[in-house]
Amino acid sequence: MPQQLKDRRIAILATDGFEQSELVEPKRALNAAGARVDVVAPKAGSIRGWKTDDWGDEVAVDVPLVEAQAEAYDALVLPGGVLNPDHLRTDAAAVGFVRSFFEQHKPVVAICHGPWTLVEADVLEGRRVTSYPSIRSDLINAGAHWENAEVVEDDGLVTNRNPDGIPAFNRKVVEVVAASRATAHKAA
């Protein structure tokens, strides 16, 4: 993957309670492919992950959500964990940020419970997705076509079922972002 994503800038939108591996591993893969990756969060400073069944590590916030503009990014990553997307979907600024990526036809990728935020952004009508099985009905009720698959890609929307599928997810994300037409920002 060396430098496939050179000059690409990716936002990872998360808050406290993100599933540790679902933020850290995609961030590592995107950086390894040459992308500049910013952690965007509703608060400045740092956010704390959830690691299986207890609190995990803190991750530095690069850009507070109030300062983030979708126009500055080439793609958006939405990690899961139960707490993280449940909080983000009640945050109007986070929902608007997510919706902006769809309006600009930029890749959006979501892992596990991450698609919950897509439900609130009202961007799933007619889209093929996967997710953690417990939110299947939520996605179907939002108009999505849910598939029981490791990774599903639908016109720039990439979804992953659970942390076990992160390696396949990371490969698909790099592929989709590399193939996307719009390069919004030249990394500084």
Tokens of 143: 């108009």
Residue 53 lies in a domain: yes
Instruction: Report yes or no on 147 lying in a domain.
Output: no
Give percent above pLDDT 90 in the chain.
92
How much is the CA Rg of the chain, to the nearest whole Å?
A: 15
Within a domain: 119: no
Residue 184 has pLDDT above 70, yes or no: no
Q: Which pLDDT tens digit goes with each residue over 15-67? A: 999 999 999 999 999 999 999 999 999 999 999 999 988 999 999 999 999 99
Our measurement of the distance from residue 61's CA atom to the centroid of its chain's CA atoms, rounded to an integer in Å, reads: 15
pLDDT over 70 (residue 125): yes
pTM here is: 0.94
| Contact residues for 79 (Cβ-Cβ < 8 A; gap 6+) | 12, 14, 18, 19, 22, 23, 26, 111, 112, 114
Q: Name the helix (H) or strand (E) containing 97.
A: helix 92-103
Q: What's the pLDDT score for residue 53? A: 87
**Catalytic residue check, 113:** yes
Structural domain that includes position 94: 9-114+163-179
The conformation of residue 101, written as its DSSP 8-state character, comes to: H
Catalytic residue of the set 87, 113, 145, 185: 113
Average pLDDT over residues 157-174: 95
Q: Can 105 be counted among the known catalytic residues?
A: no
- Assigned domain for 84 exists: yes
Mean pLDDT taken over the chain: 94
Asked whether residue 129 is domain-assigned, the answer is no
| Short-list 30, 179, 157, CA closest to 12 | 30
Q: Which residue has the higher pLDDT, 168 or 187?
A: 168
Residue 86, pLDDT > 50, answer yes
Out of 87, 112, 145, 185, the active site residue is: 112
CATH number, position 46: 3.40.50.880
Instruction: Identify whether 56 is part of a domain.
Output: yes
Q: For the purposes of burial, counting CB atoms within 10 Å of the CB of 103, is it exposed (0-12), middle (13-18) or buried (19 or more)?
A: exposed
| Domains identified in the chain, total number | 1
